[in-house]
Amino acid sequence: MIELNNATKMLGGFTLGPLNLSIQRGSYSVVLGPSGAGKTLLMEVIAGLTGLDSGTIRINGKDALEVPPQGRSIGFCYQDYALFPNMNVFENIAFGLKVKKDRNIQLKVEKIAHLLGIEDLLQRGVKDLSGGEKQRVALARALVIEPDILLLDEPLSALDKAYASQLIKEIKHIHRTRPELTIVHITHDFEEALSLADKVLVMNQGKILQAGEPREVFTRPKNPFVASFVGLKNIYKGRITRHDGTPVFETEELRFMVTTDFDGEAYATIAAHDIIVTLEPSDTSARNSFEGIVKDMEEKGMLVELAINIGIELMVIVTKESASRMGLHEGKRCRVLIKATAIHVFKA
Amino acid sequence: MTKAHGFATVFIIMGTIIVLFVVVPILGIGIATPIRSLIETARDTEVISSIRLTFISGLCATIFAVIFGTPLAYTLARYSFPMREIVESIIDLPVVIPHSAAGIALLTVLGRNSAIGHTFSVLGIHFTGTSIGIATAMAFVSIPFYVNAAKEGFASVDRRLEKTAYTLGASRSRTFFSLTLPLAKNHLVSGAIMMWARGISEFGAIVILAYHPMVAPVLVYERFESFGLAYSRPVAWLIILISLVAFTTLRFITRRRRD
């Protein structure tokens, strides 16, 4: 368990905090935010690489400010891997074990290398590895010391999409096999956050703007920055199946026609401003067309945010002008149209 | 001729002038020195012992700087503290002080009648007219070369490597010796070579602190003063040759190791 209380840190002209935060043991937290938001600095505070100007940080109930980074049992993976260039892959991974005078260095290094599929690279230098290989070595080096907390700073940002999703799978697997391991993961990628996180923290300008379950944060952003950064999105988990060759995304309540080339467990997201609301009955069967009832309306400047129940709740944004033209009000029946291409699906 | 060609031509001519400016005197002294007198000089015991004294004193000065200057260079590269810039300027001072003036300054604080000089003389260490004095003068004028190169070397090591090592449980000293130092090594070695090279070419500060025993540059000066140009030339040429060979060899070794 990591707890920050009114933690602040000034660095140059930048101020981190005051941060209040609690991360449960064994959880997977994803920190989202634009560059310069202070995400890496937050990680360094947790790792003890940076002190605090005020406030407290407690790890597993103990005042962590008293504990140097060497004693915090934290595995830290920097964004550009920070592999030791004067050591080969084996020596990099073994470094933490060697420092602790571990007796089973060879065995432990081989085991973790096998888990991450890099056992063939052990005798290689680190300079000519690919980005994905470097990331695996960095992960292996952090994991082999069996830390309580694993901090990942944009671990997938430099990798291509296919490789990144493979690594996501492996990180998930590692987290499943080590349920006590608390992971904090920085990213600016919303899909990454959704597919990994138990908890999402959105940061900007040194502050945590919102923290909560991913669905909650993405569908109910608390302030305009979070809304614009994550986009106000409808998020559903379901399955993709084929009906006469057409991919269909199914939840228990509803079916959407989508465009995709894979089947199976998936997330679907629909940006709130991509949904069309109309009062006219629609006969175009090619589109996703649903009957619904307006459950909630909230004016936001020139826009109106609608919660429309179509079997599931759908967040929709329309202009104030069109809302009043249609005479929308709470309890009003309407029709919702969603183009198949407006539904973004990706593997769960 | 196009404009681009004109530009390149001017730069080539100007660059050539600078290169010749350095090369011509060195070649000139070589051409003006008969091989026979060079060989004779190389057999002169006074010359040999002065060259040996020069190289060894320079080496001692460099070892002193490596041991005591490395922590300072690391501190300057890694930490910001009040007066850091002042400390950096102090380290650079020997470069701008006229070396004869540096010699006078050293003699003032290390001479037999000074407090420091007297204290050391009780321990049997004398700075005037000794090889220790020579090494001290060499160290004084050449130490910026090592400290600045080492500082640059440490600054070139990514801090995040050290931070990662800390999270892996490595102490500061463990991290320094197994990570930072090996990664900065090339800068340190080339800084040490530069310092040594600068140290062995010193004349001004040494001649004031220790005219005797005679280092090579002082020997050249003495032969010139007492016997004239022709007599001092073979010694000068021999010293230039040996310095060139030593310097090039060291450079070559470190360059090759880097690749």
> What CATH number is given to the structural domain containing B203?
1.10.3720.10
Domain boundaries for CATH 2.40.50.100 within chain A? 234-347
Instruction: Give the count of Cβ contacts less than 8 A between chain A and B.
Output: 60
Within a domain: B37 = no
> What fold does the segment set A2-224 form as a domain?
Rossmann fold (3.40.50)
Q: Which amino acid is at B223?
A: R
Residues of chain A with Cβ-Cβ distance to B164 below 8 Å are: 76, 78, 82, 84, 141
Domain boundaries for CATH 3.40.50.300 within chain A? 2-224
By Cβ distance, the residue of B161, B167, B169 closest to A84 is B161
Within a domain: B189 = yes
By Cβ distance, the residue of A78, A86, A100 closest to B164 is A78
Per-residue pLDDT of B163-188, as tens digits, reads: 999 999 999 999 999 999 999 999 99
Pairing of strands A74-77, A149-153: parallel
Instruction: Flag whether residue B167 sits within 8 Å of chain A, measured between CB atoms.
Output: yes
Per-residue pLDDT of A213-242, as tens digits, reads: 888 888 777 777 887 787 767 888 889 998
Instruction: Check whether residue B52 and residue B28 sit in a common domain.
Output: no
Instruction: Check whether residue B110 and residue B20 sit in a common domain.
Output: no
Residues of chain B with Cβ-Cβ distance to A109 below 8 Å are: none
Instruction: Check whether residue B17 and residue B96 sit in a common domain.
Output: no
Q: Residue B30: is its pLDDT beyond 80? A: yes
Length of chain A equals 348
Instruction: Check whether residue B18 and residue B138 sit in a common domain.
Output: no
Instruction: Check whether residue B148 and residue B215 sit in a common domain.
Output: yes
CB within 8 Å: A76 and B165: no
Q: Residue A315: is its pLDDT beyond 80? A: yes
Instruction: Check whether residue B90 and residue B27 sit in a common domain.
Output: no
Segment among A296-305, B60-69, B242-251 with least mean pLDDT: A296-305
Q: Across the beta sheet with A333-338, what order do the strands follow?
A: A276-278, A333-338, A288-300, A303-309, A313-319
Q: Residue B257: is its pLDDT beyond 90? A: no
Structural domain count, chain B: 2
Percent share of chain B, pLDDT over 70? 98
* pTM of the predicted model as reported, rounded to 2 decimal places: 0.81
Instruction: Flag whether residue B181 sits within 8 Å of chain A, measured between CB atoms.
Output: no
pLDDT of residue A237: 85
Q: Residue A287: is its pLDDT beyond 80? A: no
CB within 8 Å: A75 and B167: yes
Per-residue pLDDT of A51-106, as tens digits, reads: 999 999 999 888 998 899 999 999 999 988 999 999 999 999 999 999 999 999 99
Instruction: Check whether residue B113 and residue B8 sit in a common domain.
Output: no
Instruction: Check whether residue B19 and residue B84 sit in a common domain.
Output: no
Q: Residue B246: is its pLDDT beyond 70? A: yes
pLDDT of residue A274: 84
Instruction: Check whether residue B61 and residue B168 sit in a common domain.
Output: yes
Place of tokens 């043991």: A25
Which class would CATH give A234-347? mainly beta
Instruction: Check whether residue B109 and residue B204 sit in a common domain.
Output: yes
Instruction: Check whether residue B104 and residue B198 sit in a common domain.
Output: yes
Residues of chain A with Cβ-Cβ distance to B161 below 8 Å are: 82, 84-85
Place of tokens 């022709």: B230
ipTM for the predicted complex: 0.81
Per-residue pLDDT of B57-91, as tens digits, reads: 999 999 999 999 999 999 999 998 899 999 999 99
Domain carrying residue B2: 1-32
Residues of chain A with Cβ-Cβ distance to B179 below 8 Å are: 84, 86
Mutate to test the interface with A, among B167, B173, B175, B259 (most CBs of A within 10 A): B167
Token pair listed for B56: 């060894």
Instruction: Check whether residue B115 and residue B67 sit in a common domain.
Output: yes
Give the list of residues 6+ apart from residue B236 with CB closer than 8 angstroms, or none. B29, B220
Place of tokens 């940076």: A50
Token pair listed for A33: 């935010």
Within a domain: B39 = no
Instruction: Flag whether residue B257 sits within 8 Å of chain A, measured between CB atoms.
Output: no
Beta bridge partners of A185: A30, A152
Within a domain: B237 = yes
pLDDT of residue A283: 63
